[in-house]
Chain A
């Protein structure tokens, strides 16, 4: 199979994730878009690992999955705290530091 078909799929997922992060206001949906981006990176890591016949790609994909789990935990805690404080998780309203 061509390497490029995996890389292009990952690039498409990455760009859809970037669109989600930029366009969405809901904190939960921004976190889901970040998951899309991380998964695109994982596909790339495993694809290059398969290309070079090296197990390092899979190992670092596993590390990325662990980091993503930690990120979701912290991210959800922040979103919950924001909801508790202002009864809304609209990120465009979180602009108290804006000059």
Chain B
């Protein structure tokens, strides 16, 4: 990976191969994301979500963040999707019954989404017109872990406590008593 990135960045600044792959994967991700929010079958939505999350992991690889990409695959595709599928199984009455959305509500949501995207796109294109991100080599996991356990130790501990609280909270909320 690092040799590939280094070779590409010295040969030219155009990154032709990366850009083609980026386009293919980004298109797939957006299509899959649209399917997640439009399909009426909840299980299919979860499976389309796998495609989006995998695409996000590939984007992390493009940006040289190897450890985040691996964590994305492990936590999201490995754990969160399984959790979703269990949730679908336990609330089985809801299989594919989401066609009751009112047309008006759906239209207003679509207008909101499109307007939001338009505003964001204008602001982004205006601010970062041709800023280039140069990735010479991937961020090493050692660097990330050094940073977590020195500079960002307080947020790390806070996240640990949050996870513990969420675990206990989920048990308390979902418990039959």
A and B associate: yes
Do B108 and A22 have beta carbons less than 8 Å apart?
yes
Given A15-B116, A16-B34: A65 touches B15 (CB 8 Å cut-off): no
Q: Any chain B CB within 8 A of the CB of A94?
A: no
Do B100 and A16 have beta carbons less than 8 Å apart?
no
Q: Any chain A CB within 8 A of the CB of B125?
A: yes
| Residue among B45, B52, B68, B71 facing the most chain A CB atoms (10 A cut-off) | B68
Do B30 and A58 have beta carbons less than 8 Å apart?
no
- Closest Cβ–Cβ distance, residue B149 to chain A (whole Å): 10
Residues of chain A within 8 A (CB-CB) of B144 are 55, 58-59, 62
Given A2-B133, A13-B33, A32-B36: A83 touches B91 (CB 8 Å cut-off): yes
Mostly, the B contact residues are helix
Q: Any chain A CB within 8 A of the CB of B129?
A: yes
Residues of chain A within 8 A (CB-CB) of B83 are 72-73, 76
Do B133 and A3 have beta carbons less than 8 Å apart?
yes
Residues of chain B within 8 A (CB-CB) of A8 are 121, 124-125
User: Closest chain A residue to B91 by CB distance?
Assistant: A83
Residues of chain A within 8 A (CB-CB) of B97 are 26
User: Closest chain A residue to B166 by CB distance?
Assistant: A70
Residues of chain B within 8 A (CB-CB) of A58 are 65, 67-68, 139, 144
Do A79 and B108 have beta carbons less than 8 Å apart?
no
Residues of chain B within 8 A (CB-CB) of A28 are 42, 45, 84, 87-88, 91, 94
Given A56-B152, A58-B65: A42 touches B135 (CB 8 Å cut-off): no
Given A26-B97, A58-B68: A4 touches B60 (CB 8 Å cut-off): no
Do A19 and B112 have beta carbons less than 8 Å apart?
yes
Given A1-B133, A74-B169, A83-B90: A23 touches B100 (CB 8 Å cut-off): no
Do B170 and A1 have beta carbons less than 8 Å apart?
no
Residues of chain A within 8 A (CB-CB) of B132 are 1-3
Do A50 and B34 have beta carbons less than 8 Å apart?
no
Residues of chain A within 8 A (CB-CB) of B124 are 4, 7-8, 11
> Can you list 7 contacts pairing A with B, beta carbon distance less than 8 Å?
A6-B62, A9-B29, A11-B124, A28-B91, A35-B76, A36-B36, A36-B52
Query: Which 6 residue pairs are nearest across A and B when measured between Cβ atoms?
Result: A70-B166, A20-B37, A22-B109, A23-B109, A19-B113, A15-B117
